[in-house]
Amino acid sequence: MKAIISASELASELAGARPPTLLDIRWQLSTATAAGAAPFDGRAEYAAGHIPGAVFVDLDTDLADPPGPAGRHPLPDIERFGAAMRAAGVFSDRPVVVYDGGQGWAAARAWWLLRFTGHPDVRVLDGGLPAWEGSLATGIETASEQGDFRPAPGALPLLDADGAAALARTGLLLDARAGERYRGEVEPIDPVGGHIPGAVSAPTAQNLTETGHFLPQEELAERFKALGVTEGTEVGVYCGSGVSAAQQVLALTLAGIPAALYVGSWSEWSSDSNRPVAVGPDPQ
C-alpha cells in the first residue's frame, strides 16, 4: 500500500466508482499567538476553499487531547477519536486520503493516528492543497453518511519518554524540529531549548522538494542513511509535540524504513526538569 497519493491520482479516484473518504487537516504551528496575534484558524481556511467532498478535521481537538504533562498534542482519547472519525465518514473498509496546507505535518498526524489505530488504507496527498489543480468548494461540508471505523491502538510502534531516551543510546532517535531548536539557540514554545541526549538532528524540511512534494524514495533512503540508518537499525522520531515527527515517520515509511513515534516529544520531555537536556550541534 502506498502512503502518499498524487493530486492527479486523487482526482481520478474521486471521479471513480469507489471514491476515498477525504479529510482536510488544515493546521499550522504558530508562535505569534504568544505576542497576542490571533491563532491560525484551520476551519476558516477550509471554509474559504477546500477540495470538493472533503470534511474538516480539527487537529487540536480531534487528533489530540488537551495540552498537559504528556505534551502539547497527546494522543487523543480513543473513543472520542473514533467518534470524530465516524462523524467524518471514515469506514474501516474504505480508503482514506488526508491533506493539509502543504507541509504534510498535520496530514501525516492524521495518517499516523489512523494507521496506529488499525485503518488499513490511508494516504497523504503529496504536496497538500497547493498541489490540487481542480476546483475548490467553499463553506462547511459534512459526511454524506456516518462511518463505522472503530480504532484499535497498537498497529504502529510508539515511544514514551523512557523509550525515546533508551533508543537514543541503542538505536537512532531523530529530532524532526528545525536545527536551531535542536541546538537550543531558540525555543519559542517549550520551557527549555535543546534536544534529548543522543538524538540526531533531522529537520522535516529536508524530506521535501522545493515544490513541497516528498523526495523520491531513493533520495529519502540516502538522506536517512547519511543520518545513521543502517540495516537493522531501530529508528524513532520526535519533534515539538508529535506533529512534524509524524511527517518524518511518513518519509521514513516511503523510504522503506519502519520507525516509532514519540508522541509526547520535546513538549513532554522538557516539562520535567529532571530529564537531561543536550545543547549544540553534537547529539550528546
Residues with catalytic annotation?
239
Side chain identity, residue 62? D
> For residue 239, what are the contacts with CB-CB under 8 A and spacing of at least 6?
175, 176, 177, 204, 245, 248, 265, 266
Q: Which three cell numbers stand for residue 204?
A: 522535516
Half-sphere exposure of residue 16: CA atoms within 13 angstroms, side-chain side: 11
Closest CA to 132 of 22, 57, 226: 22
Closest CA to 234 of 162, 154, 164, 176: 164
- Are 64 and 142 in contact by the 8 Å Cβ rule? The answer is no
Closest CA to 104 of 247, 253, 249: 247
- Are 249 and 259 in contact by the 8 Å Cβ rule? The answer is yes
| Percentages (nearest 5) of helix, strand, coil residues in the chain | 35, 15, 55
